[in-house]
Amino acid sequence: MANPKTDAFSMDALLQCTGFNTGFIKPGIRLSFEKIIPDSQRKLLPNVEGNSDKIINYSALSVLYNSKRKLPFFAACNIDGASKQKNAPRPSFKPDPRIKTELQLDKPFYSKKTGKQTVFQIGHMASNNEMGRGPDGPLRAAQTFHFTNAAPQAGRLNAGLWSGLESYIIKHAATLKGNKRICLFTGPVLTNFDPGFTLEPAFKVPLLFFKVIVFPAASGVYATAFVLSHEKKLLADGMLVDKDRKVLRGPQKDAKLFFEDYPYKEVFQVNMAELKELTGMDFTWPKVKPLIIPERKRHMQIIKSVENAKGAKEVKRVMRGPIATVNIVMAKTVISDSTIKKNNYLLTMVLPD
């Protein structure tokens, strides 16, 4: 009998994986990897056993990996929102046997502590919950527990709104009848200005994370991007050092910082051009329309007047027009900061007409 928790890490099974389907979203549209990463960065892709293109393939998921930073450039996955979610297994994270172990972060790194608390959570790039859809969901979900699909994050940044973006897009944006398919590209923003980690100064900590969502709607196929920061939390905890290994208490003067988080975990919807400026990667494709986002608009706020899920449904509203938005309330969002975990959150997304 198949056991996803063991099959997900089998070398033989991994070598058979075909990865992200570039034609998944809709016939006639291909979301190719070819031009996303600039040529100057492609040399950092590691040798991958069984894949001459240096792509780490799983089931409906592919990772393009930065061997120098020991982090993914991005993880790309296919999700069919029409498929039911299965109970996703949660095995322990493991290294991928197809690339050198020394190129991957590991349990000792993620176990580093200050006092009794570990500094970082192992943050999924491709979500195990969303990958757990469909008959093969348990296997796909288990495969997300490779270190190649993860990055260090302060607190549970994958909780709440960040991890729920896929579901919101499926429900509110992917409105094409009979097609609830979306494609996701998720990763850390890797820059030359990233500070060191106090407990391991040679490791450069990414301060921002991005998620690109491509989805079909009645008026075409669209792409939109979101960015999340955990910088304030790491600065407050004294977990970042500069090039001279001095503890940072504020942003580095040379760093390009675009975002202020609220408080530590605000989600921003951004223009694709701004994401390209941040990451150096180009998430544009023929026949895919980038959503235009009003600059610097705040897209999340605490809603203290909403007491429960029923009240949240009453607040929820959808508007469609030249700048169409959907206001989505997530009641009782659980975020690790104890001072705000009982509040509710309103996320305003810009959506197509």
Q: What is the DSSP string of 188-217?
A: EE--TTPPEETTEEEEEPP-EEEEEEEEEE
Whether the CB-CB separation of 24 and 182 falls below 8 Å is answered with: no
Residue found under tokens 């709440």:
160
Q: What is the longest distance spanned by two Cα atoms in the chain?
A: 57
What pLDDT, on a 0 to 100 scale, did the predictor assign at position 210? 92
| Phi/psi at 37 (5° precision) | -90, 130
Amino acid letter for position 36? I
- How far apart are alpha carbons 210 and 177 in whole angstroms? 28
Query: What are the chain's domains?
Result: 4-299 (3.40.570.10)
Q: Provide the 8-state DSSP code for 132.
A: T
157: helix, coil or strand?
A: coil
User: In tens digits, what is the pLDDT along the chain, a chain of 353 residues?
Assistant: 478 888 899 999 999 999 999 999 999 999 999 999 999 999 999 999 999 999 999 999 999 999 999 999 999 999 988 888 777 778 999 999 999 999 999 999 999 998 888 889 898 999 888 898 888 999 999 999 999 999 998 865 545 556 666 667 676 666 667 778 999 999 999 999 999 999 999 999 999 899 999 988 888 899 988 888 888 788 888 999 998 999 998 766 555 444 443 333 456 788 899 899 999 999 999 999 998 876 544 444 433 344 444 444 444 443 333 334 444 443 333 333 333 334 444 556 677 76
Whether the CB-CB separation of 256 and 280 falls below 8 Å is answered with: no
What pLDDT, on a 0 to 100 scale, did the predictor assign at position 199? 95
What pLDDT, on a 0 to 100 scale, did the predictor assign at position 251? 65
Residue-wise burial string across 103-126, b where 16 or more C-beta atoms lie within 10 A, e elsewhere: bbbeeebbebeeeeeebbbbbbbb
What pLDDT, on a 0 to 100 scale, did the predictor assign at position 198? 95
What pLDDT, on a 0 to 100 scale, did the predictor assign at position 265? 43
Residue-wise burial string across 293-314, b where 16 or more C-beta atoms lie within 10 A, e elsewhere: beeeeebbeebeebeeeeebee
- Let me know how long the chain is: 353
